[in-house]
């Protein structure tokens, strides 16, 4: 990826949350992650719009990955005698409101911006939660998500090299996307100490995103 793991790390201290002491906060986080992955499965609709076999196979892979990730988070919830919190089902729409109309826009929206921002939060959960089963599950998800972001970045750079005029189109698009994601994060009242920590990081997350745009040569 264009950003290293260290550059995308928000929390650098020892893990401070555990199921034993912070059960409700962690289960709520796992529910958010479950519904986020369910929403991400909608990328599968692009399989018939892929410009070539490579693109088609990548969409098939990512759809399979997102489905597997939802299963990972569901099993983690079951491990702790819990189920996805129904009140959070809106995550599926709020975090995956597709505005793309072309293949290039989809690469940028879903893989570069969407998954790039999501990966920052998944790293954060991995670093801040102490329980080994959760950390192992998150590492499995991280491996896949990193490959999704890397594919999107690489393909966007290839498209920009062939279509320089795409730059302005993607810049305009990213402004709308950042407003959408920022509004989702800042428009909610933190429900627990874990969410309160995340609420303190919007500027750092946006700076990571801007660094990615610079390395994509969009800025």
Given a cut of 80, whether residue 179 has pLDDT beyond it is: no
Mutual angle of helices 132-162 and 115-128, in 10-degree steps: 160
Mean pLDDT of all residues belonging to the chain: 91
Q: What is the pLDDT of residues 54-78, one digit of tens each?
A: 999 999 999 999 999 999 999 999 9
Summarised one tens digit per residue, pLDDT across range 1-60 is: 999 999 999 999 999 999 999 999 999 999 999 999 998 999 999 999 999 999 999 999
**pTM higher than the cut 0.85:** yes
Binning pLDDT at 50, 70 and 90, where does residue 157 land? very high
Q: Calculate the CA 150 to chain-centre distance.
A: 13
Estimate to the nearest angstrom the gap between the alpha carbon of 75 and the chain centroid. 20
Distance CA 33, CA 35 (A): 6
pLDDT score, position 30: 97
pLDDT interval class at 205 (50, 70, 90)? confident
């Amino acid at each position: 990826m264009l950003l290293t793991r260290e550059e995308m790390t928000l929390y650098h201290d020892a893990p401070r949350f555990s199921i034993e002491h912070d059960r409700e906060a962690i289960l709520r986080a796992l529910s958010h992650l479950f519904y986020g992955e369910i929403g991400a499965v909608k990328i599968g609709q692009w399989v018939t719009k892929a410009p070539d076999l490579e693109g088609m196979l990548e969409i098939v892979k990512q759809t399979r990955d997102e489905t597997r990730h939802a299963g990972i988070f569901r099993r983690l919830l079951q491990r702790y005698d819990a189920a996805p919190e129904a009140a959070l089902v809106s995550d599926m729409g709020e975090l995956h409101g597709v505005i793309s109309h072309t293949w290039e826009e989809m690469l940028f929206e879903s893989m570069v911006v969407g998954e790039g921002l999501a990966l920052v939060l998944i790293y954060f959960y991995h670093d801040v939660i102490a329980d080994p089963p959760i950390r192992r599950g998150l590492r499995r998800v991280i491996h896949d998500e990193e490959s999704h972001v890397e594919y999107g970045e690489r393909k966007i750079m290839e498209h920009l090299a062939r279509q320089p005029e795409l730059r302005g189109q993607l810049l305009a698009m990213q402004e709308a996307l950042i407003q959408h994601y920022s509004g989702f994060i800042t428009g909610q009242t933190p429900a627990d100490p874990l969410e309160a920590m995340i609420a303190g990081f919007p500027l750092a997350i946006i700076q990571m995103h801007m660094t990615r745009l610079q390395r994509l040569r969009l800025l």
